[in-house]
């Protein structure tokens, strides 16, 4: 398979094309071609996962000098997850080049977020081995910037975890987050969640499931507590 177009999108040309092939080889393909002594991309994925974390953690540390460790950790989680990594993989069109077993291919494996995210991490591991940490760091930063935008503009969506951390830090106690009402018929039910802190209601949210309602309520509570969002 020719990789020129893919390498152009990645922004890197491999000296060792076998590393790139390995990064794109899923376990199902190896299982169906045992006589070819192939290596799947799981080991490269393990390496790439560590590299992506290091690159993004360093970038956040440098770009957001005023933020505390807890916020940096949450922003890193917003950036490094299956959804974000699979989005980058789609941008690079990795799915077109994946080597999949027949069953996985028929089951839309080229479009599965988990497979795409793993392939991107494997790709990062392969670039590191073929080049250097300096090279792969630059490429990963470029990918994240092009697909997800500037680091400082990444918003935190796990408002519940953030609220718990803020309350523990400021008030030395945790808020009470509870479902206080259920509205509508069973097939269109909405939940109302209330946030209580030191005996006062500081936030309320309504959503189609308990988790959504809790996140909305916690976001409202953070605003009332004058936390910048």
Separation CA 22–CA 43 (nearest Å): 10
Quickly state the pLDDT bin for 156 (edges 50, 70, 90). Answer: low
Q: Given this model, what pLDDT does residue 82 score?
A: 86
Q: What is the mean pLDDT of residues 90-112?
A: 93
Q: Given this model, what pLDDT does residue 74 score?
A: 79
Higher pLDDT: 200 or 226? It is: 200
Residues 116, 209, 225: CA angle, nearest 5 degrees: 95
| Cβ contacts of 154 within 8 Å, gap of 6 or more | 75, 78, 79, 148
What's CA 136's distance to the chain center, in Å?
Answer: 18
Task: State the catalytic residues.
Answer: 49, 121
User: Mind listing the domains of the chain with CATH numbers?
Assistant: 4-153 (1.10.1520.10), 159-224 (3.30.160.20)
Give pLDDT tens digits for 195-209: 999 999 999 999 989
């Amino acid at each position: 398979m020719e990789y020129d177009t893919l390498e152009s999108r990645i922004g890197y040309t491999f000296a060792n094309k076998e590393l790139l092939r390995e990064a794109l080889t899923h376990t199902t393909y190896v299982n169906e071609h045992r006589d070819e002594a192939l290596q799947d991309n799981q080991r490269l994925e393990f390496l790439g996962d560590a590299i992506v974390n290091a690159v993004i953690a360093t970038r956040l540390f440098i770009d957001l000098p005023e933020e505390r460790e807890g916020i940096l950790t949450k922003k890193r989680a917003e950036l490094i997850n299956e959804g974000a990594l699979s989005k980058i993989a789609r941008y690079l069109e990795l799915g077109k080049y994946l080597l999949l077993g027949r069953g996985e291919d028929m089951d839309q494996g080229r479009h599965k977020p988990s497979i795409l995210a793993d392939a991107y991490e494997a790709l990062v591991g392969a670039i590191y081995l073929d080049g250097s940490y300096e090279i792969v760091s630059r490429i990963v930063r470029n990918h994240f910037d092009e697909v997800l935008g500037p680091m400082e503009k990444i918003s935190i969506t796990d408002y519940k975890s953030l609220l718990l951390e803020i309350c523990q830090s400021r008030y030395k106690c945790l808020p009470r987050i509870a479902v206080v009402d259920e509205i509508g018929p069973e097939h269109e039910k909405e939940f109302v969640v209330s946030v209580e802190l030191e005996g006062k209601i500081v936030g309320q949210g309504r959503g189609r499931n308990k988790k959504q309602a809790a996140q909305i309520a916690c976001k409202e509570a953070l605003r009332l507590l004058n936390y910048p969002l």
